[in-house]
Structure 1
């Protein structure tokens, strides 16, 4: 006797499954796998049997539309599309669809009401961190994205706290004022522990000015520099490493009409970002147009108005960085080369090196822009696919403002070298001027080897919901050692590669020195149980430096969690009793044992050996380890202190991801969408399926049937 299992979803394409009655030892794993595959193929919801369908309500209907538009960047007018209306009528005939104005108005209403609940939610959160970055939309509107990070329910969370419409110039004071106002709206001024930002100079002013508005914020000591941005500065175009492998940039003079108070053509290097920009003209360095692509969303500022294609305060700071800091770095590297006979570089070597990225970027651009070249390259790849050691099917494009694009572009050329040479060898393609010689290919392979260091690190710092701030210093120390190996390894790398590595080292050291201004890195590092102070000793830090870090951590811990006075008195009295012993042979061993600090004290934590990395890993990482120590009989103060600092973001990648979809976020034709509506959509999208907004059911509850009908 056989059992027959017939598919209820797609019986025509899904064959009947048979099982013999006596085969009781066989499991149902294959049957379940087949069932799940069929559900996925037919877009069936995998809901448990027995759950009744949700009864229709207009509030839920409207809530789904609002969250659909917010979550997938859909225009509100999309609900008027004939296919969507017909689909709704198919599912429930007679259902009315809201017009775009209703959806827009409801989006703002939901945001305003849910913001009150978000404020209430954060009252139960101990500490929050911010990651901040700016963005200019395709509609020429500037926004400041504030992404909040916090720890709750045993995991890290992050969400857009608010997208703030920027109406003035992005000075450090203005950024601080808008941020402080946002934190006051959500009652978070006493909970802010750290702020992660990139290295623009107006952010330096921000961190110095914010403590005047939020006294509990510690200023530069609580500022985290975006680790991914530092890596970007070390490696990307016109900076330390890859600048040695690009053609020299041309300098184009652009007029920037701001305020005619001075005839100076350049800003002073030491000029504060909160001063008014006074120059009439700005020298902008531009590479060969074929050397790469610029980000279409670069923001510029003219006369106080943000417009695509002009320079903002942040971009000005970046230009100054490229012009002065990196220029000096390269000059220092070349001076260093003169001190080492093994670093003798001829002019021919420099010319060959400078052509690598330029030629590779031009070939990639032409392949992507000319269909006939792309077709020929595809044919060459298909013909040589069996001999290629990669699954890559095309050349990666270089984008000047995108991290890792240099690595991707050069690596794709290395992997598809045979095909590229075949493409260039065809006279009809007219690409002979872009051919790389043997020495250039040698340099390209070595550049890829070195850039892989930065590629891997950037991938690490781009992770989400992973505690990483305690790894910043160890990772940068590791990068330094690898670059020193490249610089000093005479047999494996060409002299120009070694000089480029020295340039990167100079920039890296510059920013590692700035890490010393922030206490967040060092507290998080030492509060990682498998590091503690021992990591500093193992990695060559002086006892003076270690003592300074120890004093910093003890001071900060005791400020946040004062010692229990009663416990202190008990220890002192006990010590006195033991010290007054009449036994002349008393060696004081008992007194030393008794005056040890308590288990939940920072002093006790610092004087004990690090926990095994295997134990921390078995616990699920440092956060899970400290979560297990929060019990009242364990070390609750230490656990709270460690978790608060370990949850600080190591990079502002999340702030950038909030608007990384570019023109998908808001279309350049959506001029009628107000900034308030856009900010509401962005916030709701980020809050969705987090403790700030669990699901669409919460939105339906906010609306309610009566209010929803009133809105319509």
Structure 2
């Protein structure tokens, strides 16, 4: 780019002048002369006043370039020349063949506006053949064009003038062009959303270029100030909060809460609170608040702030579970919440953030090689970047302290694999080298460029190494994986002279031998499933609690295989055992909460069969069933007193009572007596005391073949002798009623819904339990479906 195009003043002639704004003042004649026109041409067109014209330097430079391009173009052919060339190219062809060949070359969408071209042969002379293009919208309008003309100018101009068909798109464009959609209030609304959703500073609305852009689109636009936008954001938040409160009030189910501490770049502490619930087959996630923490993060203080937020939204008694990390103050927080809101069940409904658990397991595995050395390798002595700053924000002192306490509390006696100091040094040395090398490469553009060149020459898929980020222990797996991919070129990179000068990067010290590469490969194979699980639950958008136990089972089996493999390096086997101890710890902690077990039981594919397939103790399975039944009976099961009263029955109801008795006799003794009692109570409300006794008698004698006839005879005696035959015919039950006793549907109606669900076999085809229960809830308003959706929608990770 020239200096003129870059915004500097253009080179000037000696007699150029500048005005007060610094623009070049060029006489018209000399301006045209610069553009390639002679003074004679100017004079021949008439004497023009030699008035100075102010031209911006950058614009003048662009204009000069455009004029030079125009001057370099080939001269246009005349019509006669174009026709002669056309006839030479298509000699010997009929007009139809010419049109067909031409149409195959047409690429412009302008032709789509017209019907197939017609051929108009000249009536006299040897004039050109005309192609007639008839408009599809207005067939009475057409455009004639000579066959040798290849320009679409006339065709395009008609398309612009032609009335387009009425479509929503054209109506929207017309309305926008007319300015009818503009609203000053809508502009303020969109600006407020823009600043809030995309983290834009309020000062952005006062940028001169931004305001010029809006005024270019609509000259009379009213652009608010930064103070107005700030106030509008607060008004929108207040308005939306009222809508959310109304939504929660109308929602019949339970809500799940995730909490996590967060520190802003300006060192302000916040408690992020998000709410999650199920609606029409989807999990809804919203941010309730970022609560400013101004005091010490004790459990009591956090509980007060959290309950204050939940109360503001009216859901303090609708919360079913709380997902948080393993910090000890969270345990105290949940207990204090139970004190403040007695209906909230405290630690019984705690869900531990599974992504944090996975991170802690990886941290435990790597602790085999020395936590302090790894931190030094990951931190290095180079300049920090954005990842370091973000990691510092994510770090929470109480959480880190809890992690360290867990790692320090590992029972060394349970680590049965003997590892020598030399074997640990081999593994830790290899890991330290690759972590330091990755950081060196990442922070040095020259080394990165050289590595990219080597990778391209070796046809590798990766161009550079990545580096570890403190607090994100899964990034160690990514570092090792990338290093293994680029192993063929790393030794050559580290051995280059320019990177081994005395005060340089000194990369030769990071060259790994074959034994070290072998240990790194084994360690990567051990860690990779944890990285995969973390990404799966973090990116799925539906990280739900019923996935935790199956994930832990898979990972436990994985580390057990490593522990038992004698061909692996002893240090790697010992590291896998450390990971197993942490998995065991958090596996057992799932028993402290009712959420995990009930969610597993209510998964149609799992039920109790999953635990039996995994050889879980039968008493544990029984306890899980008891927990589910207790929750069902206490909070969800429709009680007899809550059911609507039955509609009044017709006077002659003995047949129905008899059928009820037959059905009752097919059940277990306890259930049968219960049904008989219910039938007697129903009869007493409808037919009086005498009818009740006869219905009861019909039920007790239902096994006898004459049970129905007895009830009918007794009923006829009550009704009296008049019109006996017609009344007797009315008492005879229908064929459908006679066989209702053996109908599974009738029996299922009386069976407890949870018991029926548990007795049925698991449904192996159900992949999405929420979809399964949502269909059942919409079609039958099942109370068990409501319970299942409430528990299965619990979140297994805190939302970042």
When residues 571 and 110 of structure 1 are mapped into structure 2, their CA distance, relative to the original with a 3 A threshold, is: farther
Whole-Å Cα distance in 2 between the matches of residues 403 and 498 of structure 1? 19
Q: Deviations over 1:558-615 (max 9, x none)?
A: 111244327999854336889966979xxxxx9999987845621221122111x32x
Whole-Å Cα distance in 2 between the matches of residues 456 and 288 of structure 1? 21
By relative contact order (CA 8 Å, sep 6+), the higher-ranking structure is 1
Residue in 2 that maps onto 1:112: 238
Whole-Å Cα distance in 1 between the matches of residues 351 and 105 of structure 2? 59
Deviates more, 1:131-140 or 1:117-126: 117-126
Residue in 1 that maps onto 2:623: 548
Residue in 1 that maps onto 2:368: 244
Residue in 2 that maps onto 1:666: none
Whole-Å Cα distance in 2 between the matches of residues 105 and 418 of structure 1? 59
- 1:456 lines up with 2:532 in the alignment: yes
When residues 233 and 47 of structure 1 are mapped into structure 2, their CA distance, relative to the original with a 3 A threshold, is: farther
> CA offset at residue 113 of structure 1?
2.1
Q: List aligned pairs for 1:280-295, cutoff 5 A.
A: 289-290=379-380, 295=388
- 1:503 lines up with 2:560 in the alignment: no
- 1:66 lines up with 2:192 in the alignment: yes
TM-score (norm 2): 0.64
Residue in 2 that maps onto 1:101: 227
Whole-Å Cα distance in 2 between the matches of residues 337 and 458 of structure 1? 28
Aligned residue among 756, 759, 767 for 1:604: 756
Secondary structure of the residue aligned to 2:284 is strand
- 1:647 lines up with 2:723 in the alignment: no
Aligned residue among 627, 630, 652 for 2:777: 630
Residue in 1 that maps onto 2:51: none
Q: Which has the higher helix share?
A: 2
Residue in 2 that maps onto 1:574: 675
Whole-Å Cα distance in 2 between the matches of residues 514 and 534 of structure 1? 21
> CA offset at residue 287 of structure 1?
6.3
When residues 61 and 500 of structure 1 are mapped into structure 2, their CA distance, relative to the original with a 3 A threshold, is: same
What is the aligned length? 556
Q: Deviations over 1:105-162 (max 9, x none)?
A: 2111221222112111211222211111011111121111101101113211101011
Deviates more, 1:559-568 or 1:527-536: 559-568
Aligned residue among 84, 88, 92 for 2:210: 84
Secondary structure of the residue aligned to 1:442 is helix
Residue in 1 that maps onto 2:737: none
Secondary structure of the residue aligned to 1:94 is coil
- 1:489 lines up with 2:560 in the alignment: no
Residue in 2 that maps onto 1:675: none
Residue in 2 that maps onto 1:296: 389
Question: 8 Å contact 1:295–1:401 — kept in the other structure?
Answer: no
Question: 8 Å contact 1:127–1:644 — kept in the other structure?
Answer: yes
Secondary structure of the residue aligned to 1:169 is coil
Residue in 2 that maps onto 1:473: 549
> CA offset at residue 93 of structure 1?
1.0
- 1:531 lines up with 2:655 in the alignment: no
Whole-Å Cα distance in 2 between the matches of residues 476 and 604 of structure 1? 29
Question: 8 Å contact 2:377–2:436 — kept in the other structure?
Answer: no
Question: 8 Å contact 2:378–2:470 — kept in the other structure?
Answer: no
Q: Deviations over 1:385-418 (max 9, x none)?
A: 2xx3xx2221111002125211111111000012
Unpaired segments of 5 or more residues in structure 1? 23-45, 251-284, 300-307, 339-344, 585-589, 657-712
Whole-Å Cα distance in 2 between the matches of residues 400 and 107 of structure 1? 35
Secondary structure of the residue aligned to 1:329 is coil
Residue in 1 that maps onto 2:284: 157
> CA offset at residue 15 of structure 1?
9.8
Deviates more, 1:594-603 or 1:451-460: 594-603
Residue in 2 that maps onto 1:415: 485
Residue in 1 that maps onto 2:401: 319
Question: 8 Å contact 1:599–1:635 — kept in the other structure?
Answer: no
Question: 8 Å contact 1:290–1:358 — kept in the other structure?
Answer: no
> CA offset at residue 47 of structure 1?
7.8
- 1:193 lines up with 2:320 in the alignment: yes
Secondary structure of the residue aligned to 1:240 is helix
Whole-Å Cα distance in 2 between the matches of residues 380 and 148 of structure 1? 49
- 1:380 lines up with 2:454 in the alignment: yes
